[in-house]
Amino acid sequence: MATIIAVANKKGGSGKTTTTTNLAGAFVARGYRTLMVDADGSQASAFSWRRTGESSGCSYEVLGLQSTNVRNFLTAALAVDPYDVVLIDCPPRDPGEKDGEVLRNAVLVSNAVLIPVMPSGHDLRALIGFLQWLLAIRENTKPDLDILAFINNRDARTNSAKGARSQLVLNLVGLPIRVLESEVVHREDIRRTGDAGLTVFELAPESKGAVEYTSLREEILKWLAATSERAAAVLTSAQTSASSANVQF
């Protein structure tokens, strides 16, 4: 069964496409069969990144979402190719909006939502409304949905790593959202991946950017494993109480 991650943030320019493409590169580097799904109809999305990469020999698979029914689309795609990981490049919407259907459906089929957050006051304020909607989905429909946020595109000259992360943690205090330790700094090598249609693993495999995406991948895998262990434990205890119920009656 594929692990599905929706890369989402209401705000355009927060790094959804950059995260999707480079994290896909990190999963491929670990030997995972990885699919990117472009659920954003706009120009600067994973699909256009892929097309740019055709001339540079990038071979990563990106499928453009053909309908708003993400579940059917993925079921069909996974029946053809059994991918290990699917990353969905989501549109910059408020899912509560009328045209937020694709985002809503993407979240509903995903194991985790990964939110790249730029460390600015404006971005942090915009995040809260988005999170409230996600948390409502989690509470009402998908209690095992992992919501993971991480700092992306921090300007290392003006903003310290510790400061940016603690500011994000402070903004999310009391909410069941994990703020990852891994961060991706603003780097020229990463910015260039968009123009080149390549991932940082091809463009600059020894770079700090490649190390950051590797560490992001590992931390995501760690949390996903913890969540599925918890789900398995809940299932086992439900089965145990069902079988002791059988004995009793």
Ligand X SMILES: Nc1ncnc2c1ncn2[C@@H]1O[C@H](COP(=O)(O)OP(=O)(O)O)[C@@H](O)[C@H]1O
State the nearest-atom distance from the C-beta of 249 to ligand X, in Å. 55
Return the DSSP state at 31: T
Return the DSSP state at 100: G
State the nearest-atom distance from the C-beta of 219 to ligand X, in Å. 16
153 binds Mg ion (CB under 5 A): no
Q: Euclidean distance between the first and final Cα of the chain, in Å?
A: 36
By beta-carbon proximity to Mg ion, the closer residue of 92 and 96 is 92
3-state class (DSSP) for residue 220: helix
Among 3, 9, 14, 17, binds Mg ion (CB under 5 A): 17
The residues that touch ligand X, with contacts defined as CB under 6 A, are 12-18, 44, 92, 152-153, 184, 186-187, 190-191, 194
By beta-carbon proximity to ligand X, the closer residue of 171 and 209 is 209
Q: Which of residues 192-221 bind Mg ion (CB under 5 A)?
A: none
State the nearest-atom distance from the C-beta of 188 to ligand X, in Å. 7
By beta-carbon proximity to ligand X, the closer residue of 120 and 227 is 120
Q: What residue 184 binds from Mg ion, ligand X, none (CB within 5 to 8 A, per partner kind)?
A: ligand X
57 phi-psi bin (left φ>0, alpha ψ -120 to 50, beta other): left
Say if CB 79 and CB 130 are below 8 A apart: no
Q: What residue 48 binds from ligand X, Mg ion, none (CB within 5 to 8 A, per partner kind)?
A: none
Q: E strand or H helix at 66, and its extent?
A: none
State the nearest-atom distance from the C-beta of 236 to ligand X, in Å. 39
State the nearest-atom distance from the C-beta of 79 to ligand X, in Å. 28
State the nearest-atom distance from the C-beta of 114 to ligand X, in Å. 12
By beta-carbon proximity to ligand X, the closer residue of 42 and 237 is 42
Q: Which of residues 37-96 bind Mg ion (CB under 5 A)?
A: 45
Residue 77 sits at φ, ψ, to 5 deg, of -65, -40
For residue 29, what are its two tokens? 């580097």
Rounded to 5°, the CA angle 141-83-228 comes to 40
Q: What residue 3 binds from Mg ion, ligand X, none (CB within 5 to 8 A, per partner kind)?
A: none
Quick one: the chain helix, strand, coil %, rounded to 5? 55, 15, 30
Q: How many CB atoms lie within 10 A of CB 78?
A: 15
Return the DSSP state at 57: T
**Binding residues vs Mg ion (CB under 5 A):** 16-17, 45
